[in-house]
Amino acid sequence: MVSLPNFPTALNYAESDQALVQLLKYAGMASSTYLVVDYAETIDDEVTLIWPSRWNMMKLIFLVNRYSPFFDHAITVSGMLWITDPHRCIFNWMFSITILIIRTIALRDFNKRVIMTMILLAAIMLIPTLSVMYIYVRSLTTNYPSEKTLKAVGCIPSIADQVGWVFYVTTLISETMVILLTLLKPYRSYVRGHRMLLLMHTMYRDGTLFYLIILGFSIANICCMFAAPVAAMPLLQEVLRAVHSTLCSRVLINLRRVAAQRSELDDFSASAFQLSETNTAHTLYFG
C-alpha cells in the first residue's frame, strides 16, 4: 500500500515503468479527444435548446459542468507536455452531481424531506472528502518529486494513491441516492397526459442509463486504484471525469429537447384549433 507521504517515492518507482506511464498519457489524450468529439456532436443542440433560455441556477450549473472538464483536461495535457503544478480540486464533480440532485428535487415536487436528505448527504460526504483532499495537497506541497523524476515520467495530475478512493466512493454514493430517490416515486403518479409521460420516460431512461454507465466506470476505477501497479492507478480517472460530465450534459439536453418538441406540438394544436373555430364561425355566418 502506498501512503500519501510516500507519493514522491511512488513516482520514482513509476520512472522504471515507462510503458504504464505512457499508457496513462494515452488514456488522458483519449478522454480529451472524447470530450471534443462529444462537444462537436452536441453543440447544435446546446445552442438551440440551452442558450436561448433564461439565466437561472440550472443553466449556470449546466454550463459549468459542460465546460469545466476542458479546463481539467487542459491541465492534464499541458502537464504531460510541460512541467506544471498538478494540484487538483474535486469541486468540479459537485457541479455534475448538482444537476442530478436538482432534477431529483424537482421530480419530488420540491419535497422538504427530500431537500433535507440531500443537504445531510452532501454534508456527510463533504467532511471526509475535504479531509482527504487537504492531506493529499499538503503531501504534494511538502514532499514534491524531484525535477529529474518529473522530466522522466511527466507531470500527470491524478490521484495515484489508494486513499483517493474516498473521492470516488462518495461520488458513487451520492449518485446511488439520487437514482433511488428518482425511482422511488411511483411512475404512474406522474402520468398526466402524453406530455408528462414522455418527459418522465426520458428522465427515467436517461437517468438509469447514466447511473449504470457511471457505476461500471467507477467500479473499474476503484479496482485500478487498489489492484493496478502504481503507475497505472489513475488510468481511468480522466476518462471517468469526461464520461461523467458529458452524460450529465446529455441528460439535460435530452430533457430540453423533449420539452421543446412537446411545446411546438402544443402550439401547433392550439393554432389548428383556432383555425378550426374561425372556419366554423365563417360557415355558420354564411350558412
Residue 252 is predicted with a pLDDT of: 86
Three-state SS for 236? coil
179 pLDDT higher than 60: yes
The dihedral through the CA atoms of 237, 156, 161, 227 has a sign that is positive
User: Residue 84's domain is classified under what CATH number?
Assistant: 1.20.1070
Give the DSSP letter string of 140-152.
Answer: HHHSPPPHHHHHH
The dihedral through the CA atoms of 255, 256, 257, 260 has a sign that is positive
Residue 44, domain member (yes or no):
yes
The residue with greater pLDDT, 233 or 254, is: 254
Answer for the pair 3, 164: CB distance below 8 angstroms, yes or no.
no
The label of the residue with cell 525535477 reads: 147
Identity at 181, one-letter amino acid code: L
Give the DSSP letter string of 249-266.
Answer: HHHHHHHHHHHHHHHHHH
73-126 pLDDT, tens digit per residue, is 776 666 666 544 434 444 444 554 555 455 445 444 455 666 676 677 767 766
239 pLDDT higher than 70: yes
Residue 286, domain member (yes or no):
no
Count of residues for the chain?
Answer: 287
Residues of the chain with pLDDT > 90, as a percent, come to 6
Residue 187, domain member (yes or no):
yes
The dihedral through the CA atoms of 255, 256, 261, 265 has a sign that is positive
Q: What is the pTM of this model?
A: 0.65
Structural domain range at position 150? 4-281
Which of 79, 73, 88 has the alpha carbon at shortest distance from 151? 79
Any long-range contacts for 40-48 (C-beta under 8 Å, 24+ apart)? 42/249, 42/250, 42/253, 45/253, 45/257, 46/249, 46/253, 48/260
Residue 34, domain member (yes or no):
yes
Q: Give me 222's grid cell.
A: 476503484
Q: Please tell me the distance from the alpha carbon of residue 95 to that of residue 249, in angstroms, as a whole number.
A: 11
The residue with greater pLDDT, 4 or 234, is: 234
How many domains, the chain? Answer: 1
Give the DSSP letter string of 201-218.
Answer: HHHHHHHHHHHHHHHHHH
Phi-psi region of 154 (alpha: psi -120 to 50; beta: other; left: phi over 0): left
Residue 287, domain member (yes or no):
no
